Structure 1
Amino acid sequence: MFFIGYHLSTMKRLRTILLVTIAYWVSARLGLLLAIPPGYATAVWPPSGVGLGAVLICGYWVLPGIWLGSFLANVQTALDGHAFLPSLLLPTGISLGAAAQAAVSTYLVRRFVDHCCALVEDRDIFKFFLLGGPVGCCINSSISVTLLLLLGKTSLTGYALNWLTWWVGDTIGVMIFTPLMLVLFGKPGAIWKMRRRTVALPLCLTFALVTAVFFNVREDGQQRRQQEFHRLADLAIHNIEDEFQRYQIALDSLRGMFDSSQSITQEAFHIFAKQLTSHVNGLQAVEWALHVPNSQRGLFESEQKNAADRVFSIRERNAAGQLQTAADRDEYVVVTYIEPMDANRPALGYDLASEPKRRMALERARDTNQLSATAPIELVQETRHQSGALLFLPVYDPQAPSATVEQRQLALKGYVLGVLRVGDVMDTALSFLGGERKKLRLRLSDEDADVAVQAFFADLGFSHQSELLVQQTLNLGGRDWLLKISGRSEDFGQTLAAWYVLLGGMLFCGMLSGFLLILTGRTLQVEAIVLERTQALTDRNTQLGQEIADRQRTEAALRVSEEQFRLIIRKSPIPFAINNMKGVIEMLNDRFIEAFGYTLEDIPSLDAWWKLAYPDEAYRRQVSTDWLDAVASTKGEGMDIQSDGIRIICKDGSQRIADIRGVFIGERLLVMLNDITMRRVIEDELKHVNESLEQRIREEIAKSHEKDHLIIQQSRFAAMGEMIGNIAHQWRQPLNALGLTLANLQDAYEYNELTGEYLLGQVKVGNQLIQKMSTTIDDFRHFFRPSKERQIFSAKQAIEEAMALVSASFNNNNISIELEIVDDALIQGFPNEFSQVLLNLFANAKDAILARRISKGNVRIRIAMDGSWVTVTIADNGGGIPDTVLGKIFEPYFSTKEMGTGIGLYMSKVIIEESIKGHLDVRNYENGAEFSIRCPLGYAVKATGK
């Protein structure tokens, strides 16, 4: 195999694990350099190939290095400001997936690639790339992408694409970098070192070229995205600046209205402000806030009540943010007019100077006579949790001087102000972008405000770390507002060109890797074949020299051997002949001449032999044709020619039978004629003897059948005798009762008590007794009626009928008989023969109980099913059967009873096994014997009882 680490010391192993960790981390950084924004997917992940190569070369013990390298490569991106321990879960899981993938891929390669240490044959290279690449790389992609889904780092809709991207990157990484690892460090070194120039060098150059082209294409894509982003961002900034300028112009025009008249009514303000706000969309409201000294507060509130015909007071917000009557202070800046009124009515009467941020902006506007903006504030009329700002422009008494700060403070009449909701301002300013608005993420902050309240507005998804980011400082109302705009790379054009270049290039590198391995593998195979054949030629030349010398020695030995062979053939006790391919007979041995009488002068050729040995023309044609066809078909194949039972006419006119065999020796045919004449005579005699033996066997079988018939008859007669005894027991009680009935009739007659009614009653009793005896006769006749056909019968019914036949005999001998039915079943066979078996077993049980003088005899019968079989057990308490004779109890004429025939149990076993196709067995059980009858089922009906 590849691996080299079985005998390394602990320190060397630790050093190797550290090197694997470094190699994995460095290759991971290389893979990240090849990542393509916006998703930072990559078509090649070198660590997958480095990890597989490390395990193949060193063994499974380097897996900790793979895990650690993967962990270090992923932990930096995982620590994203969230909790420390949860952030480590993702790199830990990805690292485990990387180690598992390397381990499983190594196992698959070692298990299914025959020569994985060399990768020379095409089949092995294909299996290596298939198992280590597409198959093995399913592991980490499945584990890692599933973990990303569970941690909320990706969505279910993007699961398939993320899995595919991960799998493709790992697969191509294996196809490129695993061969490089093997070329640099694989064993056997002779094979892999040869491939450094032919595989590693072209592969590295191609990889570098593809990487350079990829970087160029990616950089071009990034520049295009930057240009498109800056174009949209510049348009947005200019439009926002223009929007701010429109607000200042609108407030200047509103101030001009107040400068032109000493008294502006609510109606005049409404008409002018409505027209103004209709042209400036970003303003939520425009207001007139009157400067009211404390000395004029009461008069002002009274005037406002009379003018609006409603309750009016100057108000401020309390600590809870609720509006309340303003406290006493030196002066107030009260919202007097507001447009539009309906949406902004809560702001009427509000003292703008009661809140520090507003007061600061008011004082700056008053003292500078310039537009002044507040820091980010929550508007009084705000309902949607949107930050806002107020733009104040002071209005002075035109009759009073206002050149200095002190003069402006004395000449102040009030303020015109615009209410900005910053979110609405952004929407209005950027509405011209249409669908492209969603490409920009804006954040507007007041750089002069406290850090806690800097942000006016921020789009969801705005990122300070985005590579697409611009910022611009906007001055409005004496405050610096910082506008930042970020964008996502994927919104400014997909980098499909870079992806196609990377994917196509890396696929080409992977295919090039496989092609170079196949090419060098074939080169190695050719070199091995050349070396093998060169060595074979050298060995063959040496062998040829040896063969020439051996042949010369062999030829000399053959000449001697041929003479010896001819001598052996000539003196052989079996007839031999030799002829050449032209049909000329060259030799006949002495035994041939002796057996058949022909010499070479008589049969110089095969044609002469055919005519003399087979004078019958038809037989000669048959024998010669078969022989010549066999010779033609077997020549050159080294097979023997045979022809058996050929009749040959000898020179003296006698006939012999021979089995002929022929074998080629060079261009000659050696023919052996084995004389089997005497064997045929003996075979005929044996055939006659066999026929006589077969006749004797048939006669003995017939006698055996007669003997079996006699045994059956004896068994039936024995059963008949038992039945007659049972009938005697059955009839004794009704006969006694019948005698008593007749005696009663006689007494009634003698005492003149014989009435018609009494006579009929006694006759009825007598008929019942006679009917009972008749039923016994029917049962007896049914038992001995022969069955002509097999039939299906109930085991329960057959047992109950047999019990009825022996019940009287058992009762007279104080023997109880019990039937337990676990399952009733139907049996196929001859019911009377089955009953004969039962009666025989009942009789044996009764005899055993009586012989041992058991005071309370008991016979138990049980029916149960066992799968497709029914089992009937008959057990007694008669003491059992001696172990010495238990094995012989079913043999014919063997009996344990002094007057027994020894045929009852034998015939019972024959009936069960041959007629019913079942089994009859016996064993000693508890205090008696138990016979078991097992019969195949037809079908069964469940029934339980006793």
Structure 2
Amino acid sequence: MAKDPGSLKSNGAPLVASGTSPLNGGRFAVAAFLARNVAVVSVLLLGLLATSVVYLVASHAVEHDRQTEFESLANYRINTFRSSVRAQLGDVHSLKALFGVAPDVGRAEFARFAAELMSNSESMQTLEWVPRVEHESRQAWEERARREGLADFIIRERGLSGGLRPATTRPEYFPVYYVEPVAGNEPAIGFDLASNPVRRAAIERARETRLPSSTGRVTLVQETDSQFGALLFFPVFDRDGQLKGFVLGVLRAGSLLQGALAHLRERRLEVTLFDATAPEDSSFLARFSDGVLEATRGNEPLQAGPGKFVSAGLIHVADREWIIQCRPVPGSSFAKESMAPLLALLVGLIVTALLSGFLAYRSIGDARARHYEAQLTHLSRVATTGELAASLAHELTQPLCAIVLNAQSARRLAGDDPGSASGPVQDALDRIVADGERAGKTIGNIRAFLSRGTGERRAVAIESIVREAVAMVEAGARSVRSIGLQVDPALPRVFADPVQIQQVLVNLALNGIESMEAAGQSHRPLTVSVSRNGAGFVAITVEDEGRGLEGLSDEQLFSPFFTTKEHGMGIGLSLCRSIIESHGGKISGVSSGDGGARFVFSLPVVEEV
């Protein structure tokens, strides 16, 4: 049986352009693709470049706009709060000026002047007068306060338990004497500020420098809301330069921050107030975020800055430095990455992909048209070849019939001649008759195939078909040492055309032999096995140790005119699949585990009655 050279698909040879299509094969060589699709690649690269540039420019522009907007909002808050603090310091300074022009300011006069100042401020907790009281005159100051209506007035200090008690004896006291407003600040009246180390330190700085001084964060005596506060000491001296006392402004940091910023509708910024002069673990004063005051965050340190979407301003509060820091509120537009550059990138990529895809589609369409044109030309040649093969088959039938008839006549004559060597001659004539009949059947099947007909099918023993096919391959193969045959015992018969099944077996076997030759494995055996394949089928397997199928799918392997041989026609395996499927079976090919290829086809068995 002649083997179709174009049917070798498992020999591991690379795909070539001759007689095959990259589209059918599913493989494009990179160099060939670039050469054929210069326009597509150019548009793709230029599109990606332009998209990248647009993305970078858009990102920079959007970030610049966001940063500018953030800085504008932050600077407005910083300046607004700075103005509010300066206003509070100005009020305390105005009250100090009253003590400078009036040597002895009475309680009523202090209350009237301080109340007017407090009416313009919602952030000042209280204004106070704190005289310097020597121990010798302590009793006189206490009696004077009682005469002025403070019946329970006594100079006090905070005890170890946290409650207020009479101040212990010391050379001088600095009690809170005048308070405005009185309501809500009663616990502070009479409290000796010098009894507290933090307040005492601020008093001493103001006395020594003769300049205003501020405490760090403190908890006010009259505090009910757990806010941090600060005391502003403005020293007052008499004409002889002796310290008379202090005009005291009491600030609540949270109320001061909220009062300055609560009127703002734009609430995408978180504003935090720190005392930069204080140690890091006690620098936090208050935070105003999204309209909510957070005034008791404990020992939160000053956050790093400045940076992206971080802005800070320095504010002088007497002899201390406060820092107001602005950051985006979590979840605000400043805290999220802008989607505009990403949208620009996405649109650019989509446009580039669509344009490149359109050009690629045009290029593929042109390649497909060229391929179909070549295929039509090839089919025309195949049709011509088919006609010639049909004619040749018809012409060969007559000589074959004559050979068979002559061999049969010779066999009868040899049998009638008593002096002939009937044994060897009879055997030779029998083989001539059998081979002639087989050749005639093969030619008949070729004619039937070319005329789209089917051969003669009957219930046959698959073992005998396989053994005859293996014998033919071994007789014609020159390189393979042996063919291993494994047949399960007691196989059922199959309904098939023996010649067509032998065609399939010979084709697969010779494909495997050529694959092993190409891989330098011709000394290895080819294996053919026959076994039951579940209920109702017999499976025939042909396995070689060549180069394998290199990931080719069944769709590629059995496609008409697909081949891995340079001069192949690509109809061998396609013909095998047509034969097996016409018998009601299936055929497939895979790479075996140790290299090489394994082809398996199945045939339905004959149901025994």
| 2:243 corresponds to | 412
1:508–1:395 CA distance, 2 compared to 1 (3 A): same
Q: How does 1:635-646 map to 2 (within 5 A)?
A: none
Could you tell me which residue of structure 2 aligns to residue 422 of structure 1? 253
Aligned residue type for 2:348:
G
Partners of 1:490 and 1:463 in 2: CA distance:
21
- Using the alignment, how far apart are the partners of 1:119 and 1:454 within structure 2? 73
Aligned to 1:490: 333
Cα contact 2:219–2:227 (8 A) shared by 1:
yes
Q: What's the offset of the Cα at 1:259? A: 1.9
**1:226 is the counterpart of 2:67:** yes
Which one of 152, 164, 185 corresponds to residue 311 of structure 1? 152
C-alpha change, 1:459 and 1:427, in structure 2 (3 Å) is: closer
> 1:537 maps to what in 2?
380
Provide the secondary structure at the position in 1 that maps to 2:168: coil
Shift of 1:212: 1.8
- Could you tell me how far 1:487 is from its partner in structure 2? 2.4
- For 1:251, the equivalent position in structure 2 comes to 92
CA distance in 1, matches of 2:127, 2:184: 12
The verdict on how the C-alpha distance between 1:309 and 1:245 changes in structure 2, with shifts beyond 3 A counting, is closer
Give the superposition deviation at 1:373. Answer: 1.1
User: Which residue matches 1:453?
Assistant: 282
In 2, Cα distance between equivalents of 1:211 and 1:232: 31
- Counterpart Cα distance in 1 of 2:322 and 2:124: 18
Shift of 1:544: 6.3
Bigger share in helix: 1
Contact in 1 for aligned 2:213/2:318 (Cα 8 Å): yes
Q: Give distance in 2, aligned partners of 1:325 and 1:119.
A: 103
1:652-704 Cα offsets, whole Å, 9 max, x none, are: xxxxxxxxxxxxxxxxxxxxxxxxxxxxxxxxxxxxxxxxxxxxxxxxxxxxx
Question: 2:171 maps to what in 1?
Answer: 330
Matched, 1:500 2:343: yes
User: CA offset at residue 206 of structure 1?
Assistant: 2.3
Number of residue-to-residue matches in the alignment: 361
* SS in structure 1 at match of 2:247: strand
Counterpart position of 1:261: 102
* Residue of structure 2 equivalent to 1:443: 272
Aligned counterpart, 1:834: none
Residue type of the alignment partner of 1:336: Y
2:564: which partner in 1?
A: none
CA shift for structure 1 position 519 = 4.7
The one-letter amino acid paired with 1:190 is: F
Deviation at residue 347 of structure 1 after TM alignment: 0.7
Instruction: Report the alpha carbon displacement of residue 502 of structure 1 after superposing the two structures with TM.
Output: 2.4
Partners of 1:309 and 1:478 lie apart in 2 by: 34
Q: Which residue of 2 aligns with 1:396?
A: 237
1:217 aligns with 2:48: no
Partner residue of 1:525?
A: 368
Q: Determine the structure 2 residue equivalent to 1:167.
A: none
CA distance in 2, matches of 1:217, 1:276: 52
Q: Describe the superposition over 1:853-880 as per-residue Cα deviations: whole angstroms up to 9, x where unpaired.
A: xxxxxxxxxxxxxxxxxxxxxxxxxxxx
* Partner Cα distance (1:548, 1:523) in 2: 38
Amino acid at match of 1:456: L
Compute the displacement of 1:503 (Å).
Answer: 2.9
Larger radius of gyration: 1
SS of the residue 1:342 aligns to: coil
Shift of 1:517: 6.1
Counterpart secondary structure, 2:183: helix
Q: What TM-score, normalized by structure 2, do the two folds share? A: 0.53
AA aligned to 1:274 is: A
1:423 CA displacement: 1.6
CA distance in 2, matches of 1:254, 1:373: 16
Aligned counterpart for 2:162 among listed residues 298, 303, 321? 321
Query: 1: CA distance between counterparts of 2:288 and 2:261?
Result: 13
- CA deviations on 1:732-766 (whole Å, 9 max, x unpaired) are xxxxxxxxxxxxxxxxxxxxxxxxxxxxxxxxxxx
The whole-number CA distance in structure 2 between the counterparts of 1:206 and 1:332 is 81
The residue matched to 1:377 in structure 2 has which SS?
coil
From the superposition, tell whether residues 478 and 119 of structure 1 become closer, same or farther in structure 2 (CA, over 3 Å). farther
- Render the CA deviation track for 1:855-908: whole Å, top value 9, x for unaligned: xxxxxxxxxxxxxxxxxxxxxxxxxxxxxxxxxxxxxxxxxxxxxxxxxxxxxx
Matches for 1:339-738 after TM superposition, within 5 Å: 339-398=180-239, 400=240, 402=241, 411-431=242-262, 434-436=264-266, 438-460=267-289, 464=304, 467-487=308-328, 490-491=333-334, 495=338, 497-511=340-354, 515=358, 518-519=361-362, 521-540=364-383, 542=385
**SS of equivalent residue, structure 1 residue 334:** coil
Give 1:464 deviation, angstroms. Answer: 4.6
Pick from 300, 304, 323 the counterpart of residue 141 of structure 2.
300
Alpha-carbon spacing, 1:356–1:463, altered in 2? closer, same or farther (3 Å) = closer
CA RMSD of aligned residues (A): 3.4
- Gaps (5+ residues) in structure 2? 1-20, 291-301, 397-609
Counterparts of 1:395 and 1:440, CA distance in 2: 40
- Cα distance change, pair 217–307 in 1 and its aligned pair in 2 (3 A): same
Q: What code does the residue aligned with 1:295 have?
A: E
The CA deviation at 1:511 is 4.2
Deviations 1:150-204 (A, max 9, x none): xxxxxxxxxxxxxxxxxxxxxxxxxxxxxxxxxxxxx965356644564666444
CA-to-aligned-CA distance 1:625-661 (integer Å, 9 cap, x gap): xxxxxxxxxxxxxxxxxxxxxxxxxxxxxxxxxxxxx
Cα offset for 1:274? Answer: 0.6
Rounded to whole Å, the distance in 2 between the matches of 1:321 and 1:452 is 23
Closer, same or farther: CA 119–307 of 1 in aligned 2, 3 Å: farther
- Do the aligned residues in 2 keep the contact of 1:229 with 1:492 (CA within 8 Å)? no
Q: CA deviation at 1:351?
A: 0.9
Task: Evaluate the alpha carbon distance shift between residue 329 and residue 514 of structure 1 in structure 2; reply closer, same or farther with a 3 A threshold.
Answer: farther
CA–CA distance in structure 2, aligned partners of residues 215 and 319 of structure 1: 64
CA distance in 2, matches of 1:302, 1:389: 30
Structure 1, unpaired ranges of 5+:
1-117, 122-186, 403-410, 555-946
SS of 2:265 mapped into structure 1: helix
What is the CA–CA distance in structure 2 between the aligned matches of 1:510 and 1:275, rounded to whole Å?
A: 73
Q: Distance in 2 between matches of 1:396 and 1:494?
A: 58
Give the corresponding residue for 1:190.
Answer: 28
Q: Kindly, what percent of the aligned residue pairs are identical?
A: 29
Tell me how far 1:208 sits from its aligned partner: 3.2
> C-alpha distance in 2, partners of 1:237/1:460?
14
Q: CA deviation at 1:384?
A: 1.4
C-alpha distance 419-508 of structure 1, shift in aligned 2 (>3 A): same
SS in 2 for 1:328: coil
Task: Supply the distance in 2 between the matched residues of 1:519 and 1:315 (Cα, whole angstroms).
Answer: 96
SS of the counterpart of 1:341?
Answer: coil
TM-score by length of 1: 0.35
| Matched residue, 1:25 | none
SS in structure 2 opposite 1:281? coil
Output the amino acid matched with 2:28: A
- Whether contact under 8 Å (1:445, 1:482) holds in the other structure is yes
Q: Whose RCO is larger (CA < 8 A, sep 6+)?
A: 2
Maintained 8 Å contact 2:70/2:334: no
CA-to-aligned-CA distance 1:764-805 (integer Å, 9 cap, x gap): xxxxxxxxxxxxxxxxxxxxxxxxxxxxxxxxxxxxxxxxxx
Q: Is the 8 A contact 1:120 1:517 kept in 2?
A: no
Contact 1:387 1:457 in 2 (8 A): yes
CA separation in 2, counterparts of 1:536 and 1:284? Answer: 102
Q: Which residues of 2 match residues 904-943 of structure 1 at below 5 A?
A: none
Offset, 1:329? 1.7
Q: Which amino acid aligns with 2:71?
A: H
